[in-house]
Amino acid sequence: MRSISRLPVRVLTHNIRYATSSPFKGERPWPERKQLLLNELNYHARHGGETFICLQEVLHNQLVDILSGLNQGTNPNAPEWAYIGVGRDDGLEAGEYSPIFYRPDIWSLQHWETVWLSETPETPSKGWDAASIRIVTLGVFVHRASHRAVLAMNTHLDNQGSRARLESAHLIRRKIGEYRQGEMGRLIRGTFLAGDLNSEETEEAYIALTEPGGLVDTFKLVDPAQRYGNHDTFTGFGYQEPPSRIDYILLDSEEPTWSVEGYAVLANRFDDGVFNSDHRAVVADLTLLG
């Protein structure tokens, strides 16, 4: 079998804004936004079989729309895309998902779980001072051609509870440690965490996640002159809070097997004036070495 010494992996993360029945000023309803989101996802994942798509604020009807859109034109008995994740409210279909989409013909799913960011992480629950139930989705994927494994993580931290964000960051780091030391540790060659942290660089969750021995920000691993697109990842719909950078793709610094080839923050509005979300997508092009 052909040896693959450098495995390219693209990670795309996007908070797509849940399908609300009461849109903000400047916000279009989901039926008017969904094709714009699908165009983005299909375009940026079309030629990268090793792509992971990590989304936040996905309600079940949006999940169905996105999975159907990604698989449009493919064999229904062997769809191109699959996902892991559950609704955060009941561990089934209720509430927002933080799903990870992947191609099963490229990646073999070995294990996955949803962890609730609370004092009772095994069951649907709200933690500390959080305003909402929050989760992290984790999956161990083995690349079929190279047999290298990746621990993929996707989360959306609370927008109101500062203690909840901090404790959630600590919990996520503990989970990474458990995977490093556990049965899957011998398989995993690279780990990434994607998502909306609701935390800027100077705030609690980002600091806790990126302390020594923790995670590193792909944004900071690319020369500023080589970054593409915007800086801020949250925009609102033109009438909300000031823009900020709160969406990230972070890598495990304890696994020096990643090389970051590119970083981009994509536009979320074009000539039609329609925001596809109140967040912009973040894309990191990585290489898994060795």
Distance CA 190, CA 278 (A): 30
Q: Alpha-carbon distance 179 to 164, whole Å?
A: 22
Proportion of the chain above pLDDT 90, given as a percent: 90
* Rounded Cα gap, residues 115 and 120, in angstroms: 9
Residue whose C-alpha is closest to residue 159's, from 131, 180, 201, 140: 131
Q: What pLDDT score does 4 carry?
A: 63
- Rounded (10°) angle between helices 60-70 and 30-45: 40
Question: Binning pLDDT at 50, 70 and 90, where does residue 254 land?
Answer: confident
> What is the pLDDT averaged over residues 136-141?
98
CB neighbour list of residue 270: distance below 8 Å, 6 or more residues apart: none
Best CA proximity match to 61, nearest among 36, 29, 103, 39 = 29
CA distance 280 to 69: 20
As beta bridge partners, residue 107 has 143
131 close to 125: Cβ distance less than 8 angstroms: no
Structure tokens of 178? 């458990």
pLDDT band at 5 (very low <50, low <70, confident <90, very high): confident
Give pLDDT tens digits for 85-97: 999 999 999 999 9
- pLDDT digits over 256-266, tens only? 789 999 999 99
Q: Which of 66-70, 74-78, 112-116, 145-149 has the lowest mean pLDDT?
A: 74-78
DSSP letter at 233 equals: S
Over the chain, what is the mean pLDDT? Answer: 95
Once rounded to an integer, what is the mean pLDDT over residues 92-119?
A: 98
Task: Please name every residue paired with 288 in a beta bridge, in sequence order, or none if there are none.
Answer: 7, 258
Q: pLDDT tens across 19-38, in order? A: 999 999 999 999 999 999 99
What are the phi and psi torsion angles at 62 (to 5°)? Answer: -70, -40
Q: Locate tokens 């609690």: which residue?
A: 204
- Mean pLDDT for 37-43 is 98
Q: The domain 6-289 belongs to what CATH superfamily?
A: Endonuclease/exonuclease/phosphatase (3.60.10.10)
Report pLDDT for 2. Answer: 47
Which pTM value belongs to this model? Answer: 0.96
- Digit-coded pLDDT (tens) for 188-199: 999 999 999 999
Percent of the chain with pLDDT over 70: 98
**Distance, CA of 156 to CA of 287 (rounded, Å):** 25
**Using 50, 70 and 90 to split pLDDT, how confident is the model at 76?**
confident
Question: Residues 279, 196: contact at Cβ < 8 Å?
Answer: yes
Q: What is the mean pLDDT of residues 195-222?
A: 97
Three-state DSSP class for 97? strand
pLDDT at site 257: 86
At 1, the pLDDT band (50, 70, 90 cuts) reads: very low
Q: Report CA-CA distances (Å) from 279 to 16, 189, 236, 253.
A: 7, 30, 7, 27
